Amino acid sequence: MAPTVEEWIAGCTSYDGTPFELKKEYAQCSWIVTDSLALPNSFLRYVKNLASDGSKIHWVASKKDFGDALLVVLEDSTRNVYLHMTREDSSKVWVSSKTGCLFPGPCPHVPLGWSALAIVDNFDFEGMEQLLSADVFTGLGEAPIYPVLPGVVLEAGRDSLGNFVELNHGNGITSRMFGIGSWKMAPTVGKALGVKDAVGRLSPQDSSTFFLTVRQNGLFVRWKDFYKSTHPVDSTQIAIFKKNLPF
C-alpha cells in the first residue's frame, strides 16, 4: 500500500508551493512570485499583488489545521511579517508585525510624540465647543506636527485659531489640523506629504496645543476610536504572540 500523503503537503503542492516541515508539528508552504502564480486564498493573493517577481511568500501554520495560518512572510527588498491574531471578540485579523496595524488598511501615526486629550462620554464641552468636532493634542512649545497618514493637501491657510491644513488620505479619509503655531514650510494645495513631513510647529510656550479632525466618508470620528480601529490588538498582545510562536 502506498504511503498516505499528509493533507497539508497535498494542499501546498496543489498550488505549486514548496512544503517544509518545522518544529513542534508546524509546517510552511512557500512560493516564488511570478505573474502566473495562483494562490489559495484572498489574503495571499493580496500579498502577492504587493510583491515583485522573484519575491518569496511563506505561509506558516499547524499541520493539523493548515488553512489557519499563524503568520505570512513576504520576502521582497524588505522582509514583512503579517501575524494572524485573535481580537477580543474572537474574530481573526491580520496585523503587521512591523507597525501593529490592521493589514491591509490605513496605518496612522500620532501627529505629536505626546498625547491627545481624552474625550470621555461625560466630557464637559462648555467653553470648548470646538472639541465637539475635533480632538486636542498637547506638547512642548515648538514641537513639530506631522500628518497622521500620507496625504495630499486639500486646503491650507490661517483662521482665528492659527494656521490650518486639510489633507486627503484616500479611501474616504481626510484630516484637518488647525491651531498650528507656525509653518515649517507653508503647504500648497496638491502637495503630497508623508508621515515624516512636518507641516508646522506648536506655538512657542511651555505647553501648547493644536486640534485634529479626522473624517471617514465625511463623518467625524474621534482620534482614539480611529486609532483603535486601525490597531485591533495592543503591543502587549503582539509581544506575547511573538514570544509564543512555536519555532
236 residue type, one letter: T
- Which stretches of the chain are DSSP H helices? 7-13, 42-50, 223-230, 235-243
> Are 208 and 190 in contact, with CB atoms under 8 Å apart?
no
Mean pLDDT along residues 73-85: 96
Mean pLDDT along residues 204-231: 92
128 residue type, one letter: M
**Strand 135-140, strand 115-116: pairing:** antiparallel
Overall pTM > 0.95: no
Whose grid coordinates read 502506498?
A: 2
Reference 133, options 163, 178, 180; nearest CA is 178
pLDDT of residue 96: 97
pLDDT of residue 2: 46
Least confident of 111-120, 156-165, 210-219: 111-120
- Interatomic CA distance for residues 174 and 245, integer angstroms: 38
- Interatomic CA distance for residues 46 and 153, integer angstroms: 29
pLDDT of residue 247: 77
pLDDT of residue 4: 52
Mean pLDDT along residues 165-179: 96
Q: To the nearest 10°, the Cα dihedral for 11, 16, 22, 26?
A: -20
- Interatomic CA distance for residues 185 and 145, integer angstroms: 12
State the Rg of the chain over Cα.
Answer: 23
pLDDT of residue 10: 93
For residue range 105-117, what is the model confidence (pLDDT) as tens digits?
Answer: 999 998 887 677 7
For residue range 108-158, what is the model confidence (pLDDT) as tens digits?
Answer: 998 887 677 777 777 777 777 777 889 989 888 889 999 999 999 999 999
pLDDT of residue 120: 73
Residue 189 C-alpha cell reads as: 494645495
pLDDT of residue 246: 82
Instruction: Judge whether residue 193 has pLDDT over 90.
Output: yes
Instruction: Report the 10 Å Cβ neighbour count for 237.
Output: 17
For residue range 23-36, what is the model confidence (pLDDT) as tens digits?
Answer: 889 999 999 999 99
